[in-house]
């Protein structure tokens, strides 16, 4: 089984990393990117709450001065097992 990992990072010169989020579902990632783009285009604050454990609120004045970076990383199940094994060895 092969998967892609989608990451978005919002980095501000003054405050550092404001947002660093990883998605496994490409549809959720696309919707989140559209939300960020909409906030930049309409000059709105970036506010999102998933209803349980993730809340982000970035005022527009800081969002417009930030760098938004996205990346896609390919990985397989065997990569996850190797990574887990490395972590267990360090303990």
Q: State the Cα–Cα distance between residues 55 and 69, nearest whole angstrom.
A: 19
Instruction: Evaluate if residue 79 carries a pLDDT over 70.
Output: no
Four-point Cα dihedral 21, 57, 67, 29, nearest 10: 40
Confidence band of 91 (pLDDT split at 50, 70, 90): very low
The pLDDT tens digits for 2-27 are 588 899 999 999 999 999 998 888 99
Percent share of the chain, pLDDT over 90: 63
| pTM more than 0.95 | no
**Higher pLDDT pick, 52 / 87:** 52
Four-point Cα dihedral 41, 43, 36, 11, nearest 10: 120
* Contact call for residues 19 and 58 (beta carbons, < 8 A): yes
């Amino acid at each position: 089984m092969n998967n892609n990992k989608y990451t978005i990072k919002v980095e501000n010169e003054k405050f550092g990393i404001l947002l660093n989020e990883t998605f496994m579902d490409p549809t959720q990632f696309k919707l989140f990117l559209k939300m960020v783009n909409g906030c930049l285009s309409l000059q709105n604050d970036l506010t999102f709450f998933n209803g349980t454990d993730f809340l982000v609120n970035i005022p527009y004045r800081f969002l417009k001065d930030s760098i938004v970076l996205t990346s896609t990383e390919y990985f397989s199940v065997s990569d996850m097992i190797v990574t887990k094994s490395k972590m267990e060895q360090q303990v």
